Structure 1
Amino acid sequence: MSLRDQKSFLSNIHPFELLAEEQMDKCIRHMDIAYYAKGEVLITPEKIPNHFFIVIKGIVHEYKEDEILMDFHQQDSFDANSLIYGKTNNSFRVYEDLICYEIEKTIFLELIEQNEGFKDFFLNNLVNKFQTLKEKEYKSELSSFMIARVHDTILHPACIVEKGTTLIDAIEKSMEYATSTILVKGENEYGIITDSLLKVKVLLEGRDLNILVEEIAIFPLITINQDDYLFDALTLLIKKNIKRVGVVDNSGKMLGTLEQIDVLSHFANHTFVVDTKIKNARNLEELKDASGELISTIRTLNAKGVKVNHISSLIGQLNTKVYKKIYKFIVPKELQKDACFIVMGSEGRNEQIIKTDQDNALVVKDGIDVEQYRPYMQEMTKTLIDFGYPPCEGNIMVSNPFWCKTVQQYKSETARWIEAPAMQNYMDLAIFFDSFAVAGEKELLINLKDDLFNKLHDKDVFMAYFAKATLTFDTPSTVANFMTKTYFIDIKKTGIFPIVQGIRSLALREKIRETTTVKRIKILNQKKVLENQMANELLEAFEVLNTLRLKSHLHQLQDKKKINNEIDTHALGKIERDLLKDSFKIVISFKKFIIYTFRIEKIL
């Protein structure tokens, strides 16, 4: 291999592309090609290497005792830790005949001292490595969608007046600020007065301009932090159906207002168009047309590098609006207030991006005849199927009488789930615990969640069995475990479900009402149930796994294939494979944490 070929090879391996030209030349001058036969042991706790290895061809396995921890393929490198710290607890053995580059230890350590980016990659913790690898993987796709903060866009000056100010004085001040928005400062919150509010509350009602501002201001003003992602502001505007939010700093000081039109200009996509179509739909046909545009929205956001949790949050808000509209169109107005339509499972957690199935139910107020709702619930299911929400294979749908009951009937059901341990009962409870109210009387679901938390007091054995479901599916200890056996792996079973179920178990034990996995992790971290490192690693792994699943789903849609959770491991790029390997390591470690936390070994 020529010097040019060697340089090209190294430049495609992160973090070697960060080396300056003279550093790269030094590296190549002190780099040799070596061959090792299958079965040869390269590194052990007693045999620390004098070289840094980069695989050209072949496979090397890393062991801890007899357990395979990691596998290394073409363009993978190892073992920086042995060279940096002068020790290792693991062994490295050739699995398939190995041809590799060997870089002298002294040169490798010199490069670490000379190049900050090179050093950071090898010395940083796993979370930082995740960030570095993801940035490299998606760098060509990075845009303002993914990285923009609120302070990166236009903020309109805050025209603030105190309570007790007359409206005429407030209007004069707003003219000085050249803004149509007036913020009213109260003791612990802000209110807002807009042009449209002035028209409705003053002009149309013929009120005097000497009234006090608090008489017409809307409290509280919804705010967002200047350091929040701009995409979060977009989601908030859609969720609340508002045109502006206040922007505050970390101390709570009001900095200005963020307008819907400015967010639209920044993102320049048709998300708000879809949102408007949903809001303006006058019948089911128009609503179906608006709902059908969600897939193109998902494709656009994914292509621009938007994080998966941002996409799911935004699509979840739009889906919620679709559900509300369907409920409004189908259920007679006089029946709507006595029931609560809920979504459950991945929909309840706001984690279903592509429509893979529907998990929903109806909670009816005690004393109200459930039978009068059944024909409308049959219509709800048919309509959702027509809208592209596939039926649930387990029949967890509102058309099933089991999932259309009164509050008291659900309370009896949750009691049975807890007192009669069985895998189906655990899964029904898990699905129900993730429920989220989207239409009707939400207090009915709140009542049921309160009752569920009360029933689980001192139910340690039940919680152990509930958490045991985290271990239902095996997680590969190395990528070689499946790459040498099959092309495809179910990423939901092997990686996503263990995180979801483990976090769900901890959230249920801690009586956390939040349903999304990401927010549950953050709350568990705040409660010190999860340490910072584990919480951060889980967040990173969860994003990687869901990103790979979404990409696979979009490819399946493009090829007109049935949606499933299998990914083609042989189609993964090197960086994606590295991210997947590290994600599986985190999942396996988390499973061990769940076993210890819930004392599952006592019931195995």
Structure 2
Amino acid sequence: MSIQDQEIFLSNIHPFGHLTPSQMSMCLQHMDIAYYPKDTILISPNNIPNTFFIIIKGSVFEYSKENNLIMDYQSEDSFDSNSLIYGKCEHTFKVHEELICYEIDKKAFLSLMEKNQEFKDFFLKDLVNKIKTLKDKEYTSELSSFMIAKVQDTLIHEACIVEEDTKLIDAIEKSMEFKTSTIIVKSKELGYGIITDSLLKVKVLLQGRDLTIPVKDIAIFPLLTIQKDDYLFEALTILVKRNIKRVGVVNSSGEMVGILEQIDILSHFANHTYVIESKIKNAKNVEDLKNASKDFLDIITSLQAKGVKIYHISNLIGQLNTKVYQKLYSLTLPKELQDNACLIVMGSEGRNEQIIKTDQDNALIVKDGVDVDQYRPYMKQLTDDLIALGYPPCEGNIMVSNPAWCKSFSDFKSDIVKWINNPDMKSYLDLAIFIDSFSVAGDKELLISLKEYVFNKAQNDLFLAYFAKSTTAFETPTAISNFIGKNSLINIKKAAIFPIVQGIRSLSLKEKIKETTTIKRIKILEDRKIIEKNMAAELVEAFEIVNTLRLKNHLEAINNAKPISNEIDTNTLGKIERDLLKESLKIVNEFKKFVSYIFKLDKIY
């Protein structure tokens, strides 16, 4: 390999890419290529080397003092800066597959640390900050997609149009029916004009004019318009240039089809959320809701591509899903029934952590003394409508259409007693998703009271231990090398996401924490000194990483018209993704040990 090839190789490995040309040259001068056969001990507590290793080919395993495999290193991985910096090492590094590697002299490595602050900072950072550094990369801007978006791709408000001779009072009444403050005036000679609230104040209220005057007397002509198939940035250009807040939208024949507001254009640029919220709010039927929610996937895709934190994406989508449930509840149930019940979402929906619509877990709590049977046909309709909106049915039938999840407050109370006093696997599952429940419509006090009842009934050490035991139910690999080759699939939900969710959920139940979101639960547990600050930070980062990988996997499946799966092919991961996953799995395994210790899981069977 030439010097130039070596430089290219190093430049692609963080943080060597931050070296200046002279620093890179010095590094190359003190770097050699070495070969080690399988089973060679490179580093151990009794053998501290004088070189920094960067793998070209082969693999190295890192073992703890108890001889447990805690990390594997593959091509382009490096180790062990701590041995060189601190002159000691508690772990053992052993060649797993015959190794070809670069070795950088200790003096040169330490010299680079002194000369380059970014290089130094990376190797002196703790685990959480290293993860953040690896994640610190910019994603492609959304500007290109914005530039090719059409006016018809965003929210166009229905126009309140009146003829030019219409009395102003009549026009105002019509605008109130349309729930708009903008009146469009149609003139045979002048085309379209506009009357706004500010115009009414200036030309009518301040001048004391009669409300019976024709609208043409105060309307501003012409109303600037744009065609619905024009580019959205052209509309924005007009608004900015003319310092106005809205333009009319016309079809190819010049007929008015609606009004485009400045806030809608800006919202489109900011991932359409305001547009969708408005569509949901104004929905008059299920078809309107379907049109509103079909853009959820576009929001998710664009936010993920821009590198927005998974927590913010899930929170945003969770809020939009809540609005869909609220609107559907109001459309489905007669008004006199709505306040006597509480519609709840549970599981990942209740935690605000379901981004892609994978299933629906919901229930209805009905006030005692109110006939539950009158709700059942409406709940059947609500489930069918949710399916039509793209929320897949729950395989376990945990839905409001199931009488077992549409019942009175007292019946739910009886279920809680059964879940806790006579638990089996189904009871633990039902209790787990109920603990994560969140009220989306109706009387939320019904759920609050049931939650309080759960927390009080569950304060039994033996029960809590068995509840927490499923945290360790699935294997979390100690090294990605376990999945390279033929067995390259890893179920990211079972291996990493579920252990964090269930472990944190168990600790939250023990501490009577009413918050449902995993990240917020972690922070509350940290505040209460149940989890140390470093562990809390590591769990937040690990949870972010594994959920990001899962979301990326789901979106790729959708784009390729394949079934959504939690199994990730580790052979397809890039270098940084692989490093992040390694660190995350390490954190998950440490957390499992912590949960086992807190709940004394070794004492139960």
Please give the alpha-carbon distance, in whole angstroms, between the structure 2 residues aligned to 1:507 and 1:456.
11
* Equivalent AA in structure 2 for residue 496 of structure 1: I
Of the candidates 363, 383, 392, which is equivalent to residue 385 of structure 2? 383
How far did 1:583 drift?
A: 0.2
Alignment of 1:475-514 (within 5 A): 475-514=476-515
Alignment of 1:550-565 (within 5 A): 550-565=551-566
Instruction: Classify the secondary structure of the residue corresponding to 1:32.
Output: strand
Please give the alpha-carbon distance, in whole angstroms, between the structure 1 residues aligned to 2:546 and 2:270.
28
Partner of 1:19: 19
* Equivalent AA in structure 2 for residue 22 of structure 1: S
How far did 1:265 drift?
A: 6.5
How far did 1:67 drift?
A: 1.2
Alignment of 1:205-284 (within 5 A): 261=263, 264=266, 268-284=270-286
Instruction: Classify the secondary structure of the residue corresponding to 2:423.
Output: coil
Please give the alpha-carbon distance, in whole angstroms, between the structure 2 residues aligned to 1:602 and 1:397.
36
Partner of 1:470: 471
Please give the alpha-carbon distance, in whole angstroms, between the structure 1 residues aligned to 2:568 and 2:368.
46
How far did 1:497 drift?
A: 0.4
Please give the alpha-carbon distance, in whole angstroms, between the structure 1 residues aligned to 2:125 and 2:265.
35
* Equivalent AA in structure 1 for residue 385 of structure 2: T
Q: Does 1:111 align with 2:112?
A: yes
Please give the alpha-carbon distance, in whole angstroms, between the structure 2 residues aligned to 1:12 and 1:283.
54
Alignment of 1:286-365 (within 5 A): 286-365=288-367
Partner of 1:62: 62
Contact 1:142 1:305 in 2 (8 A): no
How far did 1:456 drift?
A: 2.1
Partner of 1:589: 590
* Equivalent AA in structure 2 for residue 113 of structure 1: E
Deviation string 1:282-316 (CA, Å, 9 cap, x unpaired) is 11111111111111111111112111110111111
Please give the alpha-carbon distance, in whole angstroms, between the structure 2 residues aligned to 1:295 and 1:521.
28
Structure 1 gaps of 5+ residues are: 145-194, 204-259
* Equivalent AA in structure 1 for residue 430 of structure 2: D
Please give the alpha-carbon distance, in whole angstroms, between the structure 1 residues aligned to 2:446 and 2:374.
18
Identity %, equivalent residues: 63
Instruction: Classify the secondary structure of the residue corresponding to 1:34.
Output: strand
Please give the alpha-carbon distance, in whole angstroms, between the structure 2 residues aligned to 1:6 and 1:436.
55
* Equivalent AA in structure 2 for residue 454 of structure 1: N
Deviation string 1:465-504 (CA, Å, 9 cap, x unpaired) is 1111101111001111222451211101100000000111
Please give the alpha-carbon distance, in whole angstroms, between the structure 1 residues aligned to 2:557 and 2:100.
37
* Equivalent AA in structure 1 for residue 446 of structure 2: L
Structure 2 gaps of 5+ residues are: 144-196, 206-261
* Equivalent AA in structure 2 for residue 89 of structure 1: E
* Equivalent AA in structure 2 for residue 357 of structure 1: D
Contact 1:433 1:449 in 2 (8 A): yes
How far did 1:80 drift?
A: 0.8
Partner of 2:51: 51
* Equivalent AA in structure 2 for residue 435 of structure 1: S
Please give the alpha-carbon distance, in whole angstroms, between the structure 2 residues aligned to 1:35 and 1:96.
11
How far did 1:132 drift?
A: 0.3
Instruction: Classify the secondary structure of the residue corresponding to 1:595.
Output: helix
Alignment of 1:18-97 (within 5 A): 18-64=18-64, 65-97=66-98
Contact 1:52 1:83 in 2 (8 A): yes
How far did 1:18 drift?
A: 1.0
Structure with higher Rg: it is: 2
Deviation string 1:95-119 (CA, Å, 9 cap, x unpaired) is 1111100001111111112111111
Deviation string 1:124-174 (CA, Å, 9 cap, x unpaired) is 101100110000xx3244789xxxxxxxxxxxxxxxxxxxxxxxxxxxxxx
* Equivalent AA in structure 1 for residue 549 of structure 2: L
Please give the alpha-carbon distance, in whole angstroms, between the structure 2 residues aligned to 1:261 and 1:470.
46
TM-score, length of structure 1 as denominator length: 0.79
How far did 1:395 drift?
A: 1.0
Question: Residues 530 and 114 (structure 1 numbering): CA distance in 2 closer, same or farther, change over 3 Å?
Answer: same
Please give the alpha-carbon distance, in whole angstroms, between the structure 2 residues aligned to 1:353 and 1:102.
44
Question: Residues 379 and 133 (structure 1 numbering): CA distance in 2 closer, same or farther, change over 3 Å?
Answer: same
Question: Residues 371 and 469 (structure 1 numbering): CA distance in 2 closer, same or farther, change over 3 Å?
Answer: same
Please give the alpha-carbon distance, in whole angstroms, between the structure 1 residues aligned to 2:265 and 2:499.
36
Instruction: Classify the secondary structure of the residue corresponding to 2:49.
Output: coil
Instruction: Classify the secondary structure of the residue corresponding to 2:76.
Output: coil
Partner of 2:8: 8
The farther-off stretch of 395-404 and 350-359 is 395-404
Instruction: Classify the secondary structure of the residue corresponding to 1:399.
Output: coil
Please give the alpha-carbon distance, in whole angstroms, between the structure 2 residues aligned to 1:561 and 1:78.
39
Please give the alpha-carbon distance, in whole angstroms, between the structure 2 residues aligned to 1:492 and 1:296.
23
Please give the alpha-carbon distance, in whole angstroms, between the structure 2 residues aligned to 1:499 and 1:368.
39
Question: Residues 314 and 265 (structure 1 numbering): CA distance in 2 closer, same or farther, change over 3 Å?
Answer: closer
Question: Residues 602 and 562 (structure 1 numbering): CA distance in 2 closer, same or farther, change over 3 Å?
Answer: same
Deviation string 1:51-73 (CA, Å, 9 cap, x unpaired) is 10000000111112421111110
Deviation string 1:238-264 (CA, Å, 9 cap, x unpaired) is xxxxxxxxxxxxxxxxxxxxxx95994
Please give the alpha-carbon distance, in whole angstroms, between the structure 2 residues aligned to 1:112 and 1:518.
35
Instruction: Classify the secondary structure of the residue corresponding to 1:96.
Output: strand
Please give the alpha-carbon distance, in whole angstroms, between the structure 2 residues aligned to 1:571 and 1:578.
13
How far did 1:268 drift?
A: 3.4
Partner of 1:190: none
Please give the alpha-carbon distance, in whole angstroms, between the structure 2 residues aligned to 1:87 and 1:470.
34
Partner of 2:545: 544
Partner of 1:393: 395
* Equivalent AA in structure 1 for residue 282 of structure 2: N
Question: Residues 381 and 265 (structure 1 numbering): CA distance in 2 closer, same or farther, change over 3 Å?
Answer: closer
* Equivalent AA in structure 2 for residue 365 of structure 1: K
Instruction: Classify the secondary structure of the residue corresponding to 2:342.
Output: strand
Matched pairs, number: 491
Please give the alpha-carbon distance, in whole angstroms, between the structure 1 residues aligned to 2:563 and 2:123.
41
Partner of 2:457: 455
Question: Residues 53 and 509 (structure 1 numbering): CA distance in 2 closer, same or farther, change over 3 Å?
Answer: same
Contact 1:45 1:88 in 2 (8 A): yes
Please give the alpha-carbon distance, in whole angstroms, between the structure 2 residues aligned to 1:24 and 1:82.
22
Please give the alpha-carbon distance, in whole angstroms, between the structure 1 residues aligned to 2:527 and 2:270.
36
* Equivalent AA in structure 2 for residue 344 of structure 1: M
Please give the alpha-carbon distance, in whole angstroms, between the structure 1 residues aligned to 2:491 and 2:445.
37
Instruction: Classify the secondary structure of the residue corresponding to 2:564.
Output: coil
Please give the alpha-carbon distance, in whole angstroms, between the structure 2 residues aligned to 1:595 and 1:500.
15
Contact 1:143 1:305 in 2 (8 A): no
Instruction: Classify the secondary structure of the residue corresponding to 1:139.
Output: coil
* Equivalent AA in structure 2 for residue 425 of structure 1: S
Please give the alpha-carbon distance, in whole angstroms, between the structure 2 residues aligned to 1:48 and 1:268.
53
* Equivalent AA in structure 1 for residue 583 of structure 2: D
Alignment of 1:388-427 (within 5 A): 388-427=390-429
Instruction: Classify the secondary structure of the residue corresponding to 2:550.
Output: helix
* Equivalent AA in structure 2 for residue 130 of structure 1: I
Please give the alpha-carbon distance, in whole angstroms, between the structure 2 residues aligned to 1:332 and 1:533.
51
* Equivalent AA in structure 1 for residue 357 of structure 2: K
Contact 1:343 1:436 in 2 (8 A): yes
Please give the alpha-carbon distance, in whole angstroms, between the structure 2 residues aligned to 1:270 and 1:456.
43
How far did 1:266 drift?
A: 10
Of the candidates 348, 371, 376, which is equivalent to residue 374 of structure 1? 376
* Equivalent AA in structure 2 for residue 521 of structure 1: I
Question: Residues 507 and 265 (structure 1 numbering): CA distance in 2 closer, same or farther, change over 3 Å?
Answer: same
Please give the alpha-carbon distance, in whole angstroms, between the structure 2 residues aligned to 1:316 and 1:396.
19
Contact 2:365 2:409 in 1 (8 A): yes
Please give the alpha-carbon distance, in whole angstroms, between the structure 1 residues aligned to 2:510 and 2:270.
43
* Equivalent AA in structure 2 for residue 350 of structure 1: N
Contact 1:264 1:272 in 2 (8 A): no
Please give the alpha-carbon distance, in whole angstroms, between the structure 2 residues aligned to 1:552 and 1:567.
7
Contact 1:343 1:437 in 2 (8 A): yes
Please give the alpha-carbon distance, in whole angstroms, between the structure 1 residues aligned to 2:263 and 2:384.
37
TM-score, length of structure 2 as denominator length: 0.79
Partner of 1:442: 444
Give the RMSD, CA atoms, in angstroms: 1.9
